[in-house]
Amino acid sequence: ETGVTQTPRHLVMGMTNKKSLKCEQHLGHNAMYWYKQSAKKPLELMFVYSLEERVENNSVPSRFSPECPNSSHLFLHLHTLQPEDSALYLCASSQDVILWGQIYMNTEAFFGQGTRLTVV
């Protein structure tokens, strides 16, 4: 198995649908991320979970709802999306080392293959 697995690989949904994206990491990492990759734009960080606690929410609309039930799984729940939400959604994980207090040392991120989402 690859280190970070995302399902489904492709998803087409209507604006009134509710769907979920799933990410699973087999690397023993303690941090997981959702990124959005749109055409001709840099990757945008959406959410960060560190030790199963959401620590970052970059002004993402509420129609995107993340869930991290444990350190190996991450979900992105979708509802009432807009056509401009069509993009590649990438999940990533990393092992953050807690040095002291809330000071963390980063390590590199490992990515899944993404879910190509099309909103019609």
Partner 1 sequence: AQTVTQSQPEMSVQEAETVTLSCTYDTSENNYYLFWYKQPPSRQMILVIRQEAYKQQNATENRFSVNFQKAAKSFSLKISDSQLGDTAMYFCAFMKHLIIQGAQKLVFGQGTRLTINP
Interface with partner 1 (CB under 8 A): 2, 33, 40-43, 45, 48, 50, 55-56, 88, 90, 92, 94, 99, 102-106, 108-114, 116
CB of residue 69 to partner 1, shortest distance in Å: 20
Phi first, then psi: give them for residue 102, nearest 5 degrees: -105, 20
Structure tokens at 87: 């993009």
Asked if residue 55 lies in contact with residue 48, where contact means CB atoms within 8 angstroms, the answer is: yes
Q: Which is nearer to partner 1, 49 or 64 (CB)?
A: 49
Pairing mode, if any, of strands 97-100 and 103-105? antiparallel
CB of residue 80 to partner 1, shortest distance in Å: 26
